[in-house]
Structure formats: structure tokens, C-alpha cells
Structure 1
Amino acid sequence: MATTRQRSKAFLDDSHDLFLAADEEATDETSPGTPVAEAALAPRSPRPATVAAQGHPKNDRSDSDADADAGHSGHDHPGETNDRVRARELFTQLVALPEGDQQRAEIRDQLVRMHLPLVEYLARRFRNRGEPLDDLTQVATIGLIKSVDRFDPERGVEFSTYATPTIVGEIKRHFRDKGWAIRVPRRLQELKLSLTKATSELSQTLGRSPTVSEIAAHLQMSEEEVLEGLESANAYSAVSLDAPDSGDDEAPAVADTLGVQDESLEGVEYRESLKPLLEKLPPREKRILLLRFFGNMTQSQIATELGISQMHVSRLLARTLAQLRRGLLDDT
């Protein structure tokens, strides 16, 4: 059990790999550099634009100069190009200012507002997965803020290129932590995605729902692995205990069909574990335990019964209990 728990924790903590895992719904449109992505990921200056660095000369360069600085060709919209240049200038100022500086906080807030279209664009990619779009947008905004704080403009990459993996990763972390009712190893999460895709493809090809053996042959895995992945899908959603046990509204609630937890159940487990340990005790130690815990006798009464001192009874009792305790711990 410990090995399984450790493996599950290792899989779930390996968030970086999970964030960058293949997303079945992702397309090349989201890759920075394609026309659709460039239009969506371009920063937008807040309107009206009121924040500017003190003493900084007004940017009156031509659009072609701005395009060259931003690393884009002249087909970009002039407003988008100017926003990129403005964002780069703000990032340069942000890095130069110390933590706690009021102007730094204002520039940071402006950069976040400028790149909110990127947040909304990436959040919409996950809108059909059962989570409200507003919640996904808030989660994506956390990723944006982290990216703004960590971005280094001297590296020569566009901010959208740098921020996209972090924002998408934050959204996937949200689904990983909130979407699964039970913690499931990443291997099983990825297996479920593969099974979903294979089932869809085979259903279209065969004109019916595929069997377990057909899915296993398609994915080149054993039927046991397919069944394991199908069972793990049950952890993806939770059922309310107040919900009807069947489709009938008059049916009893799920909670009504559950047994009451017996507080003495744990004691039964301990007693069963103690039996073989008690059998190994010497007769005198075993008798002391019986007289003390089942006969409800004091140590003085036990000493009189056995013809030994009360101090000797105390030492024997302490040693025997310690021996049983070690045996229980070793057994678990």
C-alpha cells in the first residue's frame, strides 16, 4: 500500500510533465506564430492608455520600425504592433524597478490587463469540460500573473510565447486537482484519455460501440489494462449522497443505502492482529495480561496472586505491552 501511495504522489506532483502532456483538443492554431494565434495572443493596451513611465519620450516611430523591434512582419495590425512594443517597454521598466515600488505595482497591473485577451483565449479552449468559463478565466489569470512576475524581456522571446505554457499548465492543474473526485495516478488519467479517443474512433469505424478486446487490440495493450482505465473513469465525477439511488425521484437517497460506521470495527481488527502475538507470550506474562485487563485486578492483587512483588508485576506488564506494541507496528 505504501508503494502505491508513493507512486501516486510522485505522478501527481510531477505537475510540469502533466502540464505539457499532449492535449487532444489542442491544435496548431494555438502555437505562437500562426495567424489565428498571433491575433488572439497579441496584447491589448487598456483604453484609454494612461500609464507611462515618467520622463520616457513618446513613441513616435513608424509602424515598420515597431514591427522590426517586435520581431513581426509588416502584415501585423498597427495597433497590435504598437501594443507589443509598449508591452516590451513596460516589461523593461518592470524589471528595473525594485520590489515594493508603487510604480512597479502599477506597471505590473497594466501588463496583466494588457494580456487578459490571452487569458480569455486559452480559457475558452477548455470551456466544454464541465467547469464554468468564469472559473477557468480566474485560474488562467493566476498563470498570467505568475508569467508577468517571471518574464525576462532580455531573452528575446515574445511574452505570449513564454506565458502560454504557464497559463495552460495552471488550467490543467485546476482540472487535475478539482476534476477528479478521487486522486488517480497520472498514468491512469492519460490511459482514460487514450481510451476515450480510441472508443470514439472505433465507434465511427465499426458503426457500434467497440468491445474491450477491440479497444485493447487498437491500443496494443491487454484487456486488463483497458478495464483498469475504464474503472478509473468512475473517479472523474462524484455523486451526491442526497441524490436518488436510481432514476426514480421517489427512490431513497444514496446515503440511505449506506451502512452506519461501527466504532468497534477498528477494535476487531486490533484483536485479530493481537491473537497470534498473545500466543507467543510465556505463560506468566499471558496470565498477567488476562488478570489485569480481563480480570480487572490491580497490580498489587496480581502480585499477591502470583507470589511476586508489585514492582516485578509492573516491569513485566510494561515489557509485555511494549513487545505487543512492536509486534503490531511490524505487522502493519
Structure 2
Amino acid sequence: MTFAEAMPRTAADRGRRGGDSYDDIEPALIELAALDTADPRFPELRATIVRRCLPLADHIARRFSGRGETYDDLYQIASVGVVLAVDRFDPARGSPFLSFAVPTVMGEVRRHFRDRTWALRVPRRIKETQQKIGPAIERLVHRLDRPPTATELALDLDLDLTEITQALIARNCYRTDSIDIPRTDDGPGTGAAAENLGYEDTHYELTENALAIAPLLAALPETEQRILHMRFFENLTQAEIGQRCGVSQMQISRILSRTLDALREQALAD
């Protein structure tokens, strides 16, 4: 029996496999390890072991489904991981097969996502950082009761802020959309994106204003810079800022009003 013959060909075939037949698979793996690869019994026993372990591929493929890849594609990738686990497992180490096979199969699936499903070329280091960001965001949201900032992500993952920023930007490279697909957002213009290429984007004015005011912000006293940062970058309320600074909410309101008025006057004067 060949490996191709051992593989279920359809979802119905996979559904008829029954329970997890890789339980107590170690004796068969010990027998396989004792055979010479030239022994005519070797390929048949290997195919039988792989077939018994394929429910593991099914479990892991379903775990990763819904992330832009079809179940059947993920099942094929996971099945390759099962074959690798069977071929690489060393019974002499005394470890359970499952403890070795699960990370091996999951590694193949994750490698597929990392290397094959990006719409644009992204450095592997950035891809690996991007994979860490999702769990970190979920962890910090539970701790902070709000989405974390890039700085908080960098501290949590012990990574450089620039690397975190690059990884966050790289998330947009995972999929690209056709410019011929009709728009579904509420932005300016109607119809497909191609019909609105060249449309004036008001965000450029916001960028220009930010660049113009940057030197003015740098010239502010440290306390006012800190309050502005907490209000507009950390999205804290005036009351929360007051608690951090040890003053009342009304004092924070006055400082913000005075600082913003001064910045506006200086920007318009320049």
C-alpha cells in the first residue's frame, strides 16, 4: 500500500475514519523503526501508521480553518506534517508520539501561512514578529481593558518599537483587494475603487498639519507634552490623566485647552 492509497480522498472519506486511531501507536512505530527501509514490509507498515495518524491532520486543519485558506488545502499541508512526524519520530527517546507529532504538524501549517499566503513579499523576521502580535494583543486587551499601543506591545514582547510598527504595517500585506471590487466603506466616492483613483484624500491635509505642528510640540514643556501624549496617543480621559498626574480633571481640562489654543495660534502664525 502506498501513501497515496492510505490518504482519504474526500471529506466524506475523512468523515468515515472513526475515532482517533493514533492512540497507542507507539508499538507500531517501534516495529517500523526496527525494519530496514529495503524490507518489503516497511512501506506497507509506514502507510498503515500514516493512515492511523491522519485524524490528527484533520483536527489541526480544522483548528486553522477560517483564516483565508480552505480546509482541504490545510488538511493536505497537515497530512504532510503527519508523514514528517512518522518519519522523524524516534521511539528510543521514550516520548509519546503525540507530544512530538502535534508541534511537527502545527509547524508545517504555520510555515504554510508564513511563507505562502502573503500577497506581498515581506521579510521573514517581520512575519515572525507579526505572528507574535496577535496573541500579545489578546493578552494585553484582557489586562488593560483596551487595545494596547505599539509601545505597550513592544514592551510586552521585548522588541524594538520600530520592529513592532513594521509588523503592524505588514499585516496589510496578507491580502490584497482588486481595484474593480465595489466599495463597501463610507469613504468619499462611489463604485469600484478603480473609479475613484485620484480622488482627493482629506487625510493628506491631516498629515501636513501633523508635520507642521511637530516642531511646536517638541518645544512644549515636558508636562504638557506628557498630557497631550496621554490624551491623544493613549486615549485616556481627562479624569484618568488627572489621576496619573495627581491633579483634578478640571486642571487637566484647563491645561489641554490652554496648550491647544497656543499651538493653534503658533501654527497659524507660522
Structure-2-length-normalised TM-score:
0.52
**Aligned counterpart in structure 2 of residue 251 of structure 1, from 184, 187, 191:** 191
Query: How far is 1:141 from its partner?
Result: 0.7
Structure 2 unmatched runs, 5+: 1-18, 199-270
SS of residue paired to 1:115: helix
Using the TM superposition, give the Cα deviation of residue 203 of structure 1 relative to its aligned residue in structure 2, in angstroms. Answer: 3.7
1:174 positional shift = 0.9
Q: State the Cα deviation string for residues 167-190 of structure 1 (Å, max 9, x = none).
A: 222112211122222232232223
Kindly tell me: are residues 243 and 117 of structure 1, through their superposed partners in 2, closer, same or farther at Cα, counting changes over 3 Å? same
One-letter amino acid of the counterpart of residue 27, structure 2? V
The residue aligned with 1:129 is 67
Q: Does 1:138 align with 2:76?
A: yes
Asked if 1:184 corresponds to 2:126, the answer is no
C-alpha separation in 1, matches of 2:86 and 2:158: 44
Do structure 1's residue 167 and structure 2's residue 109 form an aligned pair? no
Q: 1:96 to 1:152 in 2, by over 3 A?
A: farther
Matched, 1:237 2:179: no
> In 2, distance between residues paired with 1:221 and 1:144?
33
Q: 1:254 to 1:246 in 2, by over 3 A?
A: farther
Larger radius of gyration: 1
Cα deviation per residue 1:50-99 (whole Å; 9 max; x = unaligned)? xxxxxxxxxxxxxxxxxxxxxxxxxxxxxx44x5434533x146x33517
Instruction: Tell me if structure 2 keeps the 8 A contact 1:140–1:171.
Output: yes
RMSD over aligned Cα, in angstroms? Answer: 3.6
In the alignment, the residues of structure 2 paired with residue 200 and residue 217 of structure 1 have an alpha-carbon distance, to the nearest angstrom, of 15
Deviation readout 1:125-176 (Å, 9 max, x if unpaired): 3235332333222111112223333444445444334433332221122111
Check 1:227–1:104 CA distance in 2 against 1; reply closer, same or farther (3 A cut). closer
- Larger RCO (CA within 8 A; separation ≥ 6): 1
Residues 255 and 85 (structure 1), Cα distance of their counterparts in 2 relative to 1, 3 Å cut: farther
Contact residue 212 and residue 223 of structure 1 kept, 8 A: yes
8 Å CA contact retained: 1:245, 1:254: no
Give the fraction of aligned pairs with identical amino acids, expressed as a percent. Answer: 37
Question: Among residues 82, 96, 100, which one is paired with 2:36 in the alignment?
Answer: 96
Q: Structure 2 CA distance, aligned partners of 1:173 and 1:128?
A: 17
Structure 2 CA distance for aligned equivalents of residues 194 and 137 of structure 1: 24
Q: State the aligned residue count.
A: 178
Distance 1:196 1:117, change over 3 A: closer
